[in-house]
A and B are shown apart, each in its own frame.
Chain A
Amino acid sequence: MRKIVTALMGTLSGLVLLFSYHTSTAEQAVPGGASPESAAGSSQSSSESLNDGVPDPTEATSETEDSSADAMSGTFTGDAAETRYGAVQVEITVEDGVITSSEAVQYPNRDHHDQRINAYAVPVLNAAAVEAQSADIDAVSGATVTSLAYAQSLQSAIDQAFQ
């Protein structure tokens, strides 16, 4: 399971880079009718499993062990991430701790230009997440990213995978 995070977080930068690169001219609001909705959990899902009270190291540790014993397989849908290009939402499928597919289930589709962009970008993005899985990378260094696009959505998917 650790590998999921390893691979996914390693992929985040690359994905965001890809997305911001290919859609850098589509700088407007969410596409009509594509209102963001999260399939499971909320954008705060990362904190829901944690106590808000006084930090208790022992409890936190056992919590971790509980969660890491589960969630090795399944389909996890990230929250929709609002980006300047529109809403983006990613779904990953995990089997025995390995990402077998990653798919954008919602992405900007406002006009012909966006459609052209996404027809190319989204399959590339989907392939990139799976490819990086085998590369065992913790992080990618590249030219500065200016959009959270896929990062928010994938992060949310990862958090759900670890609950």
Chain B
Amino acid sequence: MRRAPASTLAALDPMPRRAFVAQIMGLPIAFHVRGPLARGAVVEKAVERAFDELRADDDLFSMWKPDSPVSRIRDGRDSLDDAPLRIRRVAALCDEARQRTGGAFSAWLPDGHGVPRFDPTGLVKGWAVEQALRGVVARLDRLGAHDVLVNAGGDIAVRCSRTDTPDWAIAVEDPRDRRRVVQRLELRTGAVATSGTAARGRHITDPSTGEPANKLLSATVIGPELMWADVYATAAFVLGRSGLGWLATRPAHAAVLVDHDGSVTTIRG
């Protein structure tokens, strides 16, 4: 079974690395840590704490748990004004997101009867994962420089504290054939978020019509922070090609759009 180590591979990338995966918020969330202590217990604890923080946010924001604070706001049992601070913070960010996207992103989406209900899920995931990542980075940096990548169901954020490691290589998958990629990016610090409909039954709703958005196969946005990359990807997916001008005005962001005919449009920020 055992053979001699593949010295070429070790020489190329000698840094210890480890991945941790948990299912939270209905998503597989994977943290990858690269650095001298990556396989030590102290890193495992730092990542576990991040998972706990994400589980706590899931308890707050879940729309599937009937008695979560957000569920109580949705069905009118509680008022948003009296909600816990984190929920009010997210609601304020959702308002800012609506303004920044000209309404293409909205946390107030019509329910089955056309009544607008508070639905911050399109922003919460990126916001919570970004915070969890920062927590891991802060804890690990006290022990020495480490690189961290988090992949939350296909939305990715990375932070590199080391200078002797390769960039993280991130692929944008082809929505028509998931074995293929349409783009390969190299990032040390930043985020990549993709919106599309292929992988899940739940569609992205166009706030202006209340109907599922269908203008593109997928929209990927690359930027400095996961929350905004995710919000912009959702908005870009809703807007379709008519959003190209708006996307081009986003400072420090780039985008990759895949059309129904398979054509790929890349927008450099």
Interface residues of A (CB under 8 A from B): 1-3, 5-6, 9-10, 12-14, 16-18, 20-21, 24, 46-47, 49-53, 55-57, 59-61, 63-64, 67-75, 95-98, 124, 127-128, 131, 135-148, 151-152, 155, 158, 162
Contact = CB atoms under 8 A, between A and B. Distances in A.
Taking each of B17, B41, B169, which has the highest tally of chain A beta carbons within 10 Å of its own beta carbon?
A: B41
A88 to B, nearest CB: 13
B21 A145 contact: no
B84 interface: no
Contact of B168 (A13, A49, A138): A138
Nearest to B143: A57
B164 to A, nearest CB: 14
B161 to A, nearest CB: 15
B75 to A, nearest CB: 23
Contacts, number: 221
Contact of B32 (A9, A145, A147): A9
Given A74-B1, A97-B5, 15 more contacts: A2-B15, A24-B201, A50-B41, A60-B40, A128-B178, A136-B169, A137-B170, A138-B149, A139-B32, A141-B170, A142-B154, A142-B175, A143-B175, A144-B155, A146-B26
B181 A17 contact: no
Contact of A64 (B16, B19, B28): B16
A68 B218 contact: no
Interface string B150-189: 0101111000000000001111110100110100100000
Given A61-B37, A64-B38, A148-B21, A97 B154 contact: no
B129 interface: no
